[in-house]
Amino acid sequence: MDTIITLFLFFLTIYAIYKFIIKPFFIWLFLPFIDPIAASERKQKREAMFKKLKEEKALIAENKYIEDNERVYDHKLCAYCHSYNLVKLEEKVGDAFWRYANLNGSQDMRRKNINYQLASVLADHRCNDCGAITLFSYYASDKPSINGPIYSRLLLKDSPNKNIKKIGYNWPSTEG
Ligand SMILES: [Zn+2]
C-alpha cells in the first residue's frame, strides 16, 4: 500500500513539474514558432510595460526636480520650464506706501515715530533654458530690492520652443 502511495506521489510530482515548469518554459521559448500572433502580443505587452515604467521614472525625476528647485531657489524659477537659469530684464519699483497709513493712504500720525515708507519691486526675467518670460513680485520693504524673497511668479510669455515641456507653473497657483 505504501508503495502505491509513494508511486502516486512520485508521478504527481513529475506531472506538476511538467505542467508548471517545463511546459510553460517551452511555450515561452517556442511561442514565436507555435503562435506568432500571440508572441507579438506578448512582445507588445512587454514593451508597453517598459514604456510605462520609464514614464513613471521620468515623472518621479521631474517631481523631484520641481521640489528641489522650489526649495533651493525659493520659488524664483521659470514659470514655464522650472529652471533657475534666469536673466533679469527690467525691474520696476512700485508706489511707496506708509507702513501705518490712514484710509486715504496718508501717514498715520499716531505712529509717527515708528512709521516708514515701503515699496515693492516687480521684475521680469527671461529664462536662458527655454526663453519664456516670468514676472516676479518681491515683498515690500523700506529698501526695495530684487535680492529678497518673492511672493509670486507669473508667466508672461510662453517659451518660443514648443519642444520644451511646460512643467513650470504660476506660484502661488492661480488655478482652482
Ligand atoms: Zn524656462
**Per-residue pLDDT tens for 120-137?**
889 999 999 999 999 999
**Domain with 110 in it:** 77-157
C-alpha cell at 147: 535680492
Letter for the amino acid at 125?
A: H
Q: Helix H segments across 35-174?
A: 36-72
What's the total number of domains in the chain?
2
C-alpha 129 – ligand 1 centre gap (Å): 5
Across 18-27, 114-123, 161-170, least confident range? 114-123
Mapped onto helix, strand or coil, the DSSP state of residue 12 is: helix
Domain assignment of residue 70, yes or no: no
C-alpha 68 – ligand 1 centre gap (Å): 16
Domain assignment of residue 46, yes or no: yes
Question: What pLDDT, on a 0 to 100 scale, did the predictor assign at position 176?
Answer: 52
C-alpha 53 – ligand 1 centre gap (Å): 27
DSSP annotation of 75: T
Tell me, yes or no, whether 81 and 53 share the same domain: no
Tell me, yes or no, whether 109 and 149 share the same domain: yes
C-alpha cell at 169: 507653473
C-alpha 78 – ligand 1 centre gap (Å): 5
Q: Higher model confidence: residue 85 or residue 110? A: 85
C-alpha 73 – ligand 1 centre gap (Å): 14
C-alpha 172 – ligand 1 centre gap (Å): 17
Question: What pLDDT, on a 0 to 100 scale, did the predictor assign at position 142?
Answer: 79
Q: Which of 148, 164, 167 lies closest to 76 in space, CA to CA? A: 148
Does the pTM surpass 0.85? The reply is no
Phi and psi angles of residue 143, each rounded to the nearest 5 degrees, phi first: -125, 80
Tell me, yes or no, whether 57 and 87 share the same domain: no
- Tens-place pLDDT, residues 27-60: 888 888 888 888 899 899 999 999 999 999 999 9
Tell me, yes or no, whether 30 and 92 share the same domain: no
Choosing from 13, 37, 61, the residue where a domain stops is 61
Domain assignment of residue 174, yes or no: no
Domain assignment of residue 164, yes or no: no
Domain assignment of residue 41, yes or no: yes
